[in-house]
Structure 1
Amino acid sequence: MDSKKESKKLLSEFKECQKMLAAIGDETRQYLMSVMIMEKCGGTRVVDLAEKTHLSRPAVSHHMQILKDAGFVTSRKEGTMIYYSINADRAGIKKVRDLLDHIEELLNEECYYEEDF
């Protein structure tokens, strides 16, 4: 294994996932995502999320924008209403999963390597 090459790749993956990791690292956003996952596929409005979470509408809007910027959430507008839903293509989830798989792979190789000596 070329450790320099792997280190660069890992740092690149971390950088690519930075917004996503920060977005899901917040307990409030984790809760909002769990509520949305359990909701209907058509999406959820900020006002409905605010009622279910006991957060203010501005607070929910703020968190939804962070989740949207990170790629976990999408929005669609119907008239004056905006519906948020978990991003159907799940690209952000796949990137984070790939990062974690790469970390596990490197840790397994390192542990295996150390056991050989």
Structure 2
Amino acid sequence: MDNSQLDQTKESELLKNKKALINEIRQATDIFKALADPVRQEILLMFMIAKRMNVAQIVEQSPLSRPAISHHLKILKQAGILSSTKERTEVYYSLTIENSVVEQLKKIVRVAEDILNDPAKSYE
């Protein structure tokens, strides 16, 4: 394999990694959207202290209404950041930070690092 073929192979691998990064970021869109909102960030901080809360407990610590809190909890749950369990008439939420969410974010970082450390990027 001559140098030009080797260069093309390196560029092709770099392009493949860039496409993989974009794909991973797109798959994590719900997570990024959920984490981007300051209200949801505050709710997450509450869960760092209290491992499990219902909507009423969150409302007590927030200036927002119950429906507004419920809306934010729904978004965090859809993103896989919170889980819920129903006990009698009350729904309790807790941080899942499931392996899937953490692993998805770690994978984005790993792919980004691969791109940053790729010697082929000097060919761009």
Indicate the TM-score class for this superposition, using the shorter chain for normalisation. Answer: 0.7 to 0.9
Is the aligned partner of 1:70 residue 2:115? no
Does the aligned pair in 2 maintain the 1:72–1:93 contact within 8 Å?
no
How many pairs align?
112
Deviations 1:26-60 (A, max 9, x none): 111111011112103xx200111011122211111
Equivalent residue of 2:98, what SS?
coil
Equivalent residue number for residue 25 of structure 1: 36
TM-score by length of 2: 0.80
Other-structure match for 1:61: 70
User: Aligned partners of 2:114 and 2:38: how far apart in 1?
Assistant: 28
Select the residue among 45, 60, 71 that pairs with 1:51.
60
CA RMSD of aligned residues (A): 2.0
Alignment-derived partner of residue 100 in structure 1: 109
- Structure 1 unaligned runs (5+)? none
**SS where residue 53 of structure 1 aligns?**
coil
Mapped to 2, the partners of 1:105 and 1:50 lie a distance apart of 43
Question: Which protein, 1 or 2, shows the higher relative CO under an 8 Å CA cutoff with sep ≥ 6?
Answer: 2
Q: Residue 9 of structure 1 is aligned with which of 7, 20, 25?
A: 20
The alignment-based identity, stated in percent, is: 31
Counterpart Cα distance in 2 of 1:87 and 1:49? 17
Deviant stretches of 4+, over 4 Å: none
| Conserved? CA contact 2:81–2:98, under 8 Å | no
Q: Which one is further off, 98-107 or 59-68?
A: 98-107
Q: Which has the larger radius of gyration?
A: 2
TM (norm. structure 1) is 0.84
Which amino acid in 2 is paired with 1:61? S
Q: Equivalents in 2 of 1:7, 1:58: separation in Å?
A: 40
Q: How many Å separate the matches in 2 of 1:31 and 1:107?
A: 32
In the other structure, the counterpart of 2:5 is: none
Unaligned runs of 5+ in 2: 1-9
